[in-house]
A and B are shown apart, each in its own frame.
Chain A
Amino acid sequence: MKLEVTGLTKCYGTTRAADGLSLSVESSRVLVLIGPSGGGKSTLLRMLGGLEIPDAGTIAINSHRLLSDAAALQTYRRKNGFLFQQFNLFPHLTALRNISLPLEKVHGHTPAEARTMAEQSLARFSLIDHADKLPAQLSGGQQQRVGIARAVARQPEVLFLDEPTSALDPEMTAEVLELIQELAEAGQDIVLSTHEMGFARAVADQIAFVAMGKIEEVSPPAEFFGAPKSLMCQRFLSRVMRY
């Protein structure tokens, strides 16, 4: 995926969540956003995913530009996938229905088709045994995996993951990260934000450091973790890698 972001600004009240942010990535399969909480990772991700309209600036993904009208963004969202920290699934629907309902109502598949596709998607991540369970009957890790299965059920162009494991315990974190790595290896374009440094290093081919609404540094993981250029980045890494 090719990414070109220039002068992106987004304000919530008086806080500038993104402050003239620019980012250029020539070609990357998995782009990982790292940085302190409240630094603008989520905001950037939400604008990239078409969930938030920037106040100023432009975004181009794979050289088509994101428009800022609601209808165009809806079309854009339909061909990508997005996963939040938690509560992604609709609690009144079973795991299977969570996946098949959007396929039916958004993408116009027949109920039978949608069901088959949803089953395939669940089976792919060995979740088929949980097909008829409600989200409340699944563990946090299983919920996130079903969430990912829903997001990739219709081969999204790009999959956006906003701290997908932040609400999980270490064991569940591992099962979700494994799944994400599997997807990356299968060739899925992914942009994700995370606090799991080891995972970032293993799975990313580009890492962007986001702090104070700006991109401080973009580099491949070896370089990023081995010899970070910016001072802010060095400080952050020395703090999070200490333990």
Chain B
Amino acid sequence: MMRRPLIANVLVALALVVVFGWLCTTVFALLGTQTDWSKAWEYRQTLWRGWWMTLQISFAALLGSIFFGLLFMLGQRSPLVVVRWTCRAFLEFVRDTPLLVHLLFGYFVIFAPLISRPLGERGFDDKLIIGILLLSVFEGAYLGEILRGGVESIPRTQWESARAVGFSRFQVYRYVIFPQALRRALPAMAGLFVSLIKDSSLLNVIGVAEYFYNTKNFISRSYAGLEGYVPLAIGYLILTLPVAWLSHWLENRFRHET
């Protein structure tokens, strides 16, 4: 009984290895003569700087998106109808338009004319700061929905019990609702943070010297192919895999608790 699935598994695995191996050898055979890994080594400084920049952008936008996410979540739960509707409309707009458009429009039309000069005079990199801001708003819009889902999934009796023991409005959120809602939202949040890291590559369109931008420059300058794209993929994997693992770990851990 146990042997049949085992054999099937082995056969399928073998077939996959053969297909993948064939694909790799064909591609490498075609490109093999032109591939020169020393090019990538030559540009290692730029690539490293870009990767480090991507890490910093991701971290800053992560904090930023948490801020905006909380803001959007609370806005949608505001007792004022006008605030709720404005929030709703803004979120809908942000979530239904591409990040690329936000970055181009937000940078060149809205923020650059507005704050580029004052930022530049104080010695800041305006592209970087505006890019992080726009990325934070975009991811924050998604996070806001995730958090709202988490908060609204907490049963009514929990709110009531919290009020009944005398907690204030703030304390109800702080001690009763958030700890439970975050627990439920954590896996989805970790997934979003993986997206955030990947989306940060779009900042290249406004000229932020992050990992993708620097790799692109390296490729066009040295006519590299694989030597550029393989490190690019690996570089992003190094950033995203730990977050993805964290998300699975959290999912497993909290599944048993409630």
A residues contacting B by CB (< 8 A) are: 49, 51, 74, 77-78, 81-84, 86-92, 101-102, 105-107, 134, 136, 150-151
Contact = CB atoms under 8 A, between A and B. Distances in A.
Contacts of A102: 165-167
Contacts of B179: 92
Given A77-B164, A136-B258, A90 B171 contact: no
A92 B180 contact: yes
Contacts, number: 58
B171 A105 contact: yes
Contacts of A49: 164
Given A90-B162, A92-B179, 10 more contacts: A51-B164, A77-B166, A78-B166, A84-B157, A88-B157, A90-B158, A92-B257, A102-B165, A105-B171, A107-B166
B157 A86 contact: yes
Nearest to A104: B175
Contacts of B164: 49, 51, 77, 81-84, 151
Interface in B164-180: 164-168, 171, 175-176, 179-180
Contacts of B167: 102, 105-106
B77 interface: no
A90 B177 CA distance: 9
B155 interface: yes
A138 to B, nearest CB: 14
Nearest to A52: B160
27 contacts: A51-B163, A74-B166, A74-B168, A77-B163, A77-B164, A77-B166, A78-B166, A81-B164, A84-B164, A86-B157, A88-B161, A89-B161, A90-B158, A90-B162, A90-B175, A90-B180, A92-B180, A92-B183, A92-B257, A92-B258, A102-B165, A105-B167, A106-B166, A136-B257, A136-B258, A150-B165, A151-B165
Contacts of A90: 158, 161-162, 175-176, 180
A92 B254 CA distance: 11
Contacts of B157: 84, 86-88
Given A92-B183, A105-B175, A106-B171, A87 B166 contact: no
Contacts of B168: 74
A82 B166 CA distance: 10
Contact of A91 (B162, B163, B175, B258): B258
B165 A106 contact: yes
A89 B258 CA distance: 13
A92 B257 CA distance: 8
A198 to B, nearest CB: 27
Nearest to A136: B258
A151 B176 CA distance: 16
Contacts of B165: 77, 102, 106, 150-151
Nearest to B177: A90
Contacts of A150: 165
A84 B163 CA distance: 12
A32 to B, nearest CB: 20
A51 B160 contact: yes
Contacts of A84: 157, 160-161, 164
A51 B157 CA distance: 12
Contacts of A106: 165-167, 171
A101 B161 CA distance: 13
A19 to B, nearest CB: 23
Q: Taking each of B155, B164, B176, B257, which has the highest tally of chain A beta carbons within 10 Å of its own beta carbon? A: B164
A87 B161 contact: yes
A89 B176 CA distance: 10
Contacts of B257: 92, 134, 136
A69 to B, nearest CB: 14
Given A74-B166, A92-B179, A87 B171 contact: no
A134 B183 CA distance: 15
Nearest to B168: A74
